[in-house]
Amino acid sequence: MTKVLVPLVDTSVTELKGVGPKNAERLRKLGIENVQDLLFHLPIRYQDRTRIVPIGSLRPGDQAVIQGQVELADIRYGRRRSLLVRLADGTGSIMLRFFHFSSAQKANMARGAWLRCFGEVRNGPRAYELIHPEVQRVAEDEPAEVEQALTPVYPTTEGMHQLTWRDLTGHALTLLRRGGLQELLPRVVLDEYDMPPLADAVRLLHRPPPDQSQQLLSDSGHPAQRRMAFEELLAHQLSLRVLRQRQRRLGAPRLAGNGRLQKALLDRLPFSLTVAQRRVLDELRRDLAEPQPALRLVQGDVGSGKTVVAALAALCCVEAGYQVALMAPTELLAEQHLRNFTNWLEPLAIEPGWLSGRHKGKRRVRLLEGLADGSIRIVVGTHALFQEDVLFDRLGLVIVDEQHRFGVHQRLALREKGAAGQLPHQVVMTATPIPRTLAMTAYADLDLSVIDELPPGRTPVTTVVVADKRRAEVIERVARACSEGRQAYWVCTLIEESEALQCEAAEDTASVLAESLQGLRVGLVHGRLKAAEKEAVMAAFKTGEIDLLVATTVIEVGVDVPNASLMVIENAERLGLSQLHQLRGRIGRGAQQSHCVLMYHPPLGAVAQERLAVMRETNDGFEIARRDLAIRGPGEVLGTRQTGEMQFRVADLLRDQDLVPDVQALADRLLVEHPGAVKPLIRRWIGQKVQYADV
Ligand code: ADP
Ligand code: MG
């Protein structure tokens, strides 16, 4: 009788010996439901238990199996009671240290006993030590029976021991031997890229033979690991391409404006566009004139002038008779855009609408009516624009600012807002530059434009890092700058999550500063002020009626006062790189030299120290993004860690960046030459998450 082979992806982990309801639940929490999932759950590192290491050759940090005879076993009463055992093998000796032990354990390690131990070597007070090693009593002449493969150590969860993992993956590998894990990459591709078949790679990674380089394995640079990362990145890339293809099939309105409104705005601007702005605007206009929905990411450093480019693209859409939605991730940023757009567009007889989550009642109803009947041509708002009851007459263009805080899913939610059977064009603007390879992977469904030039007349900001015990000097410095006619920001950042407490603390800081800076006009702005109050303070700062503006991080975005050339950021160690960069982007907008003082409260952790050093070394947003990525990892940088989007099982965007060009090229090729492989690859690696792709 032949048994029909069930694919491992359809074999529930509960069919494995040792997986009862409890373990099944634990596995499920890690996203492991079937045997294939289990096999894709790769070890984080390996231990070499394949040989017994001479004690004399051990170095701190080594993990090793040793075997020797107990020379001495003693209970010590130091700061903590501990059992100390000296083990020697003729090449040297080492101490075993136990803080918890039973009398049976102690008896087991009596003087003269032969032990085999596994543990990590550390520097002890007098000699090298193993703290709480695994211990096994052996006979003096017992043959060295050791592991045949490197021992995998799995990422785990509470209640799942490494032995259980080894057991389970052992069973899974037995099933794998019978087949059930289909090779999805065409033979020619494997040959061309010199990659092992998937099943071989999986087998090797769970039980690497002792001759495999442990170094390569722990750096995840082993060909088997790269093979799996490659396939996963490929699947991801394919899913975004397929998504993109489907969207394109839906079609979008051609938005070829006549240029009238755009010209009117350009004529009124007090500056002319930079070459980079003009180039990106041209790219946008070309996109908008196509009958397929544009999906374009516009990257540009802080202050590179993305807003005006967005406004011009919006006007292009309005000229063609369609509506525009401009969406920002926070109220404050949305308000800032509204203010800019209103200033620019009112003279052109266009009044932008405004929709935030706070709007209720009549105002909201009126706005919704205006959107539905088409009388509102441009609307600025927050996530509230996604809500179901927001309907447009002829939505032609959606502009999203600060994309990295929105997910793919939200991006797609807006597609329903288009006119029947059509999608609006989408432009995404981000002020946090993302390194190119990362952008190409994270936003593979988007075209990329970069405003890689700042408007003329900006001077780079000089940044210093000082401990907060030098606060008096810093205040002195503020006094000097302001007495010379310049203006300054004092940014308060606090540990408290509560906005109320933050605002209170900013109020305190403001009154203390006003006290010590007699004669200076000190203003205060924070998130709890009413919109009108906030606006009044900002206006006074802009016209120079306020010398020093004390603020919470609400000023991170949008604020634009060229005469402000000094910024003090308190507790700078608590902020991330991109936030620091955004904040600092508020100065350096005028012709005079600007200074940023990053004040920290010691002691400074290693990561914070590195962040502040990066800020001191460079003003280049792209460089900062690269360093940020290295410090925090892609999930954090893209803001997708919480959503789980862009979380790979095997691949690591940072580590595997160099694979991206090949992955992209191969994705293109598969779509044409091996279309049959596409769907299974997506299903294998992305599974449920791509249901959204079924437009
Ligand atoms: P960001 O790209 O950070 O959103 P903004 O759009 O807020 O930058 O622009 C920053 C400032 O630069 C604004 O005051 C804007 O009016 C101004 N600006 C934009 N483009 C130019 C330009 N070509 N020349 C001079 N100033 C410009
Ligand atoms: Mg901006």
Indicate which CATH number applies to the domain containing 129.
2.40.50.140
Residue 269 Cα: closest atom of ligand 1: 16
Atom 14 of ligand 1, residue of closest alpha carbon: 560
Q: Please, are residues 64 and 43 in contact by the beta-carbon 8 Å criterion?
A: no
Of 183, 302, 295, 307, which Cα lies nearest the Cα of 243?
Answer: 295
Look at residue 691 and tell me if it is in a domain.
Answer: no
Look at residue 219 and tell me if it is in a domain.
Answer: no
DSSP 191-210: HHHT---HHHHHHHHHS--T
Residue 306 Cα: closest atom of ligand 1: 2
pLDDT tens sequence across 69-105: 999 999 988 788 899 999 999 999 999 999 999 999 9
Ligand having the closest approach to the CA of 304 = 1
Encoding tokens for residue 174? 């037995």
> Measured in angstroms, how far is the CA atom of residue 306 from the centroid of ligand 1?
7
Q: What is the pTM of this model?
A: 0.70
> Measured in angstroms, how far is the CA atom of residue 222 from the centroid of ligand 2?
42
Atom 25 of ligand 1, residue of closest alpha carbon: 455
The vertex-359 CA angle with 353 and 365, nearest 5°, equals: 70
Distance, CA of 498 to chain centre: 24
Please count the CA atoms within 13 angstroms of the CA of 85 that sit on its side-chain side.
Answer: 28
Q: Which CATH number is 330's domain given?
A: 3.40.50.300
- Inter-CA distances, 421 with 247, 397, 417, Å: 11, 15, 10
Give the domain range for residue 431: 252-451
Atom 5 of ligand 1, residue of closest alpha carbon: 305
Look at residue 428 and tell me if it is in a domain.
Answer: yes
What's the rounded Cα separation, in Å, for the pair 590 and 455? 11
pLDDT tens sequence across 309-363: 999 999 999 999 999 999 987 777 788 889 899 999 999 999 999 998 777 789 8
Residues 442 and 534 in one domain: no
Strand-pair partners of 325: 379, 398
What is the predicted pLDDT for the residue at 520?
92
Lowest mean pLDDT among 415-419, 438-442, 511-515, 613-617: 415-419
- The residues, any chain, with a CB within 8 Å of residue 165's CB and separated by 6 or more, are 152, 154, 156
Encoding tokens for residue 117? 């131990």
Q: What are phi and psi of 163, to 5 degrees?
A: -65, -40
Strand-pair partners of 354: 380
Give the best-scoring range by mean pLDDT among 137-141, 201-205, 515-519, 640-644: 201-205
Look at residue 664 and tell me if it is in a domain.
Answer: no
> Measured in angstroms, how far is the CA atom of residue 221 from the centroid of ligand 1?
43
Atom 24 of ligand 1, residue of closest alpha carbon: 455
Residues 195 and 283 in one domain: no
Q: Domain ends where: 105, 138, 171?
A: 138
For residues 517-537, give the mean pLDDT. Answer: 86
Q: Please, are residues 666 and 678 in contact by the beta-carbon 8 Å criterion?
A: no
- Is residue 690 very low, low, confident or very high in pLDDT (cuts 50, 70, 90)? very low
Kindly report the length of the chain.
695
> Measured in angstroms, how far is the CA atom of residue 335 from the centroid of ligand 1?
16
> Measured in angstroms, how far is the CA atom of residue 334 from the centroid of ligand 2?
10
What is the predicted pLDDT for the residue at 495?
58
Atom 9 of ligand 1, residue of closest alpha carbon: 305
What's the rounded Cα separation, in Å, for the pair 644 and 431? 22
Encoding tokens for residue 575? 């902020």
The pLDDT of residue 601 is above 50: yes
What is the predicted pLDDT for the residue at 86?
96
**HEC assignment per residue over 429-484:** EECCCCCHHHHHHHCCCCEEEEECCCCCCCCCCEEEEEEHHHHHHHHHHHHHHHHC
Residue 457 Cα: closest atom of ligand 1: 25
Residues 443 and 515 in one domain: no
| 146 compared with 48, residue with greater pLDDT | 48
**One-letter amino acid of 323:** Q
| Pocket perturbation via mutation, ligand 1, pick of 265, 304, 338 by most ligand atoms within 8 A of CB | 304
Can you tell me which residue has the tokens 């982990």? 13
Q: Domain ends where: 591, 610, 633?
A: 633
Residues 262 and 406 in one domain: yes
Look at residue 665 and tell me if it is in a domain.
Answer: no
Residues 425 and 480 in one domain: no
Residues 328 and 201 in one domain: no
What's the rounded Cα separation, in Å, for the pair 436 and 626? 10
Residues 362 and 392 in one domain: yes
Residue 300 Cα: closest atom of ligand 1: 2
Residues 25 and 77 in one domain: no
> Measured in angstroms, how far is the CA atom of residue 499 from the centroid of ligand 2?
23
Residues 323 and 466 in one domain: no
Residues 549 and 484 in one domain: yes
Ligand having the closest approach to the CA of 402 = 2
Residues 93 and 189 in one domain: no
Q: Please, are residues 447 and 296 in contact by the beta-carbon 8 Å criterion?
A: yes
> Measured in angstroms, how far is the CA atom of residue 451 from the centroid of ligand 2?
12
- Inter-CA distances, 69 with 91, 130, 320, Å: 12, 15, 88
> Measured in angstroms, how far is the CA atom of residue 299 from the centroid of ligand 2?
10
> Measured in angstroms, how far is the CA atom of residue 506 from the centroid of ligand 1?
28
What's the rounded Cα separation, in Å, for the pair 172 and 148? 18
- Inter-CA distances, 502 with 192, 456, 507, 553, Å: 58, 36, 9, 10
> Measured in angstroms, how far is the CA atom of residue 264 from the centroid of ligand 2?
22
> Measured in angstroms, how far is the CA atom of residue 142 from the centroid of ligand 2?
72
Distance, CA of 178 to chain centre: 39
Residue 562 Cα: closest atom of ligand 1: 14
For 631, the 3-state DSSP assignment is helix
Ligand having the closest approach to the CA of 303 = 1
Atom 4 of ligand 1, residue of closest alpha carbon: 306
16-28 b/e (C-beta count within 10 Å ≥ 16 → b): beebeeebbebbe
The pLDDT of residue 203 is above 80: yes
**Ligand 1: residues within 6 Å at CB?**
271, 273-274, 277, 300, 302-308, 431, 455, 560
pLDDT tens sequence across 618-668: 998 888 888 887 777 665 555 544 444 556 888 887 788 889 889 999 999
Ligand having the closest approach to the CA of 271 = 1
Look at residue 640 and tell me if it is in a domain.
Answer: no
Residues 164 and 295 in one domain: no
pLDDT tens sequence across 156-199: 888 888 989 999 999 999 999 988 899 999 999 999 999 999 99
Look at residue 639 and tell me if it is in a domain.
Answer: no
Q: What are phi and psi of 80, to 5 degrees?
A: -130, 140
Look at residue 674 and tell me if it is in a domain.
Answer: no
| Pocket perturbation via mutation, ligand 1, pick of 275, 297, 560 by most ligand atoms within 8 A of CB | 560
Q: What are phi and psi of 218, to 5 degrees?
A: -75, -20
Number of domains the chain contains: 4
Strand-pair partners of 96: 85, 130
70-79 b/e (C-beta count within 10 Å ≥ 16 → b): beebeeeeee
- Helices (H), ranges, 525-566: 531-542
